[in-house]
Amino acid sequence: MLFDFVNIESENIYKLLTSTVGPRPIAWVTTQDTDGTLNAAPFSFFNAVSGNPPVLAFGIGGRAPGDVKDTGGNIRRTGQFVINLVSYELAEPMNVTAIDFPKHVDELKEAGLTTAPSRHVKPPRIAEAPVSFECERLVVVEVGIDRAVVLGKVLAIHVRDDCVLDKERCYIDTPKLDLIGRMHGRGWYARVTDRFELPRIPLDDWPARKAKAAE
């Protein structure tokens, strides 16, 4: 069935995108305004888009025309932010920080979370998060009157000690991170506990494999 976006309202376009693109990792972003006010909020339009240079991107949806929430405003003014990842055990505290609190409210305090200092940026990371990326703003792309995509260069990554298999070789115990992602809408999430391995096929091996499959 064809869904032609020319004739579909934005609300239904959002439903189609979130129902078909998933699971989507969660960027749990901490920022700090110029007056020192902290903010924490989760965003599910998020992923890594480059390895060299290391770049993460996430999308911010505003509450009204011209608005990209406190997160977007803080990043525009300071150029710094931290993207924390969400483990299964942190799902409920993360959900608390998604409440549309007024600017003066500390979402981390409301969720019973603590902070830890970053190495290169002023915004702190969420101490309980299994992974945190310190980032500096590369560019904020305005994609609508109340929508923006933030691209940030990763300056450092913090990984919980018990999830590091080999520091020198940069091997991480990904399953132990127990990360969650968003699935469609209305509060649905997914755990990455069901995995399978599928090694890439070398070009030299493909003719034989293709012939075997045709038998």
Judged against a pLDDT cut of 90, whether residue 62 lies above it is answered with no
pLDDT (tens digit, 9 = 90+) per residue, 82-106? 999 999 999 999 999 999 888 889 9
Judged against a pLDDT cut of 80, whether residue 140 lies above it is answered with yes
Q: How far is CA 162 from CA 9, 133, 158, 173, 190, in A?
A: 46, 17, 12, 8, 23
Instruction: Report the b/e string of 121-144 with b at 16+ CB within 10 A.
Output: bbbbbbebbbbbbbbeebebeeee
Q: If you average pLDDT over every residue of the chain, what do you get? A: 94
* Model confidence band, residue 77 (pLDDT cutoffs 50, 70, 90): very high
pLDDT of residue 69: 76
pTM: 0.93
Determine the average pLDDT of the residues in 182-205.
Answer: 91
* Model confidence band, residue 170 (pLDDT cutoffs 50, 70, 90): very high
CA distance 114 to 101: 18
pLDDT of residue 64: 61
Q: Is the bond into 54 cis (omega within 30 degrees of 0)?
A: no
pLDDT of residue 67: 58
End-to-end CA distance of the chain: 34
Q: How many CA atoms lie within 13 A of 197 on its CB side?
A: 1
pLDDT of residue 66: 59
**Domains of the chain, first to last:** 5-214 (2.30.110.10)
